[in-house]
């Protein structure tokens, strides 16, 4: 029989504490920091953060199994003509040029991809007003041209639209598309009205949304994850991520905390939203020192849950992130328009062997899916 006088120590050795906590999801670690004051300081401990980074990269989500990379190349100095490649191989040495769907074969300029490939479907849109939209299944070359909505028939001088997200609503088993429309009564570029609308593939129709959300920054991308579309926006005094739930049709706004801003107010910082190992990530490009800070959003809508997980660089000659791969690869455009990638695990930088126009190349994760688009 055990002695009732046996004392149990309430002290947990640091090495054991580090080992346990570093293997938890970042969201859980944040919640545990309220248990003890010393635990709240763990995010300032270099050894602990090193263990967290190692675990974060060692457990890649099963979603990435059997996926490849699609790269949308905009050819430099060639009037924004676009080509889409499928990249494979350990060093992306295999490059297969895809034949664009029929609506873009006569005009392959100014094409963009919304989000990423979802169940083998890509959402392509074209032009400065994003009016031409096509859902495309590269595996079978099936495509569907999205019909126009009623906003283009309203009595306004000009209508400008911008895609904000494409994704899958698992509740209704439906693919949906979010768009913002600016309506102008004159040519002075002062919008008279703003409308949010959502498209349903199941009903093949648009409907007006009763929301008032911040718009996507014109030079940023939108991403999709777990039934929600996310985009990056900013005002003169605030930067944030907007997350829209395709099922509930509500949104959450997550501001950027002050500590994520650089202390040098004059330094130019560019932001790029991405999905890194099934987590919302923000890549901040600090131009003055050629470094890139990667922060993870642990809990949507909670500003304090942002965690700066990686500091990459300096990477001399590397300028603009264009996407995130599946094995810790971050893709960039270089000063000479060459495309390159940096691996977070090995720290190695390698060229892809393709050139791309500034700010107009995209890289998305893609998984082949053989079922018909509307099934």
pLDDT in tens, 114-157: 988 899 999 999 877 788 899 999 988 899 999 988 888 787 77
pLDDT confidence of 266, banded at 50, 70, 90?
very low
CB neighbour burial string for 259-296, b if at least 16 within 10 angstroms, e if fewer: ebeeeeeeeeebbbbbbbbebbbbbbbbeeeebbbbbb
Contact 278, 27 (CB under 8 A): no
Q: What domains does the chain contain, in order, with CATH numbers?
A: 14-57 (no CATH), 60-256+267-366 (2.120.10.80)
Query: What is the three-class DSSP state of 221?
Result: coil
Query: What is the three-class DSSP state of 34?
Result: coil
Average pLDDT over residues 77-98: 82
Query: What is the three-class DSSP state of 21?
Result: helix
Average pLDDT over residues 54-70: 82
Residue-wise pLDDT tens digits, 310-340: 988 888 888 788 889 888 889 888 888 788 8
CA 353 to chain centre: 24
Average pLDDT over residues 97-112: 90
């Amino acid at each position: 029989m055990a002695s009732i006088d046996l004392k149990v120590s309430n002290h947990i050795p640091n090495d054991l504490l580090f080992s346990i906590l570093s293997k938890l999801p970042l969201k859980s670690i944040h919640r545990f920091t309220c248990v003890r004051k010393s635990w709240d300081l763990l995010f300032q401990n270099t050894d602990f953060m090193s263990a967290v980074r190692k675990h974060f990269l060692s457990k890649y989500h099963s979603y990435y199994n059997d996926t490849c990379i699609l790269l949308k190349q905009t050819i430099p100095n060639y009037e924004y003509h676009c080509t889409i490649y499928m990249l494979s191989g350990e060093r992306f040495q295999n490059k297969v040029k895809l034949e664009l769907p029929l609506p873009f074969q006569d005009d392959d300029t100014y094409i963009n991809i919304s989000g990423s490939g979802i169940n083998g479907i890509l959402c392509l849109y074209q032009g400065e007003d994003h009016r031409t939209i096509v859902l495309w299944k590269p595996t079978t070359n099936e495509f569907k041209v999205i019909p126009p909505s009623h906003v283009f028939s309203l009595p306004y001088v000009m209508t400008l639209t911008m895609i904000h997200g494409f994704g899958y609503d698992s509740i209704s088993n439906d693919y949906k598309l979010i768009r913002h429309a600016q309506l102008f009564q004159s040519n002075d570029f002062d919008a008279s009205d703003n409308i949010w609308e959502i498209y349903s593939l199941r009903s093949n129709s648009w409907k007006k949304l009763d929301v008032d959300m911040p718009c996507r920054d014109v030079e940023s991308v939108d991403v999709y994850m777990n039934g929600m579309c996310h985009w990056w926006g900013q005002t003169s005094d605030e930067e944030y991520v907007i997350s829209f739930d395709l099922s509930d049709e509500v949104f959450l706004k997550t501001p950027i905390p002050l500590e994520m801003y650089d202390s040098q107010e004059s330094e130019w910082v560019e932001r790029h939203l991405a999905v890194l190992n099934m987590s919302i990530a923000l890549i901040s490009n600090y131009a003055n020192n050629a470094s890139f800070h990667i922060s993870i959003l642990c809990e949507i809508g909670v500003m304090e849950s942002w965690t700066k997980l990686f500091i990459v660089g300096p990477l001399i000659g590397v300028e603009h992130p264009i996407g995130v791969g599946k094995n810790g690869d971050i893709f960039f455009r270089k000063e000479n328009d060459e495309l390159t990638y940096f691996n977070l695990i090995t720290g190695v930088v390698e060229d892809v062997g393709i050139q791309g126009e500034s700010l107009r190349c995209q890289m998305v994760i893609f998984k082949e899916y053989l079922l018909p688009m509307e099934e």
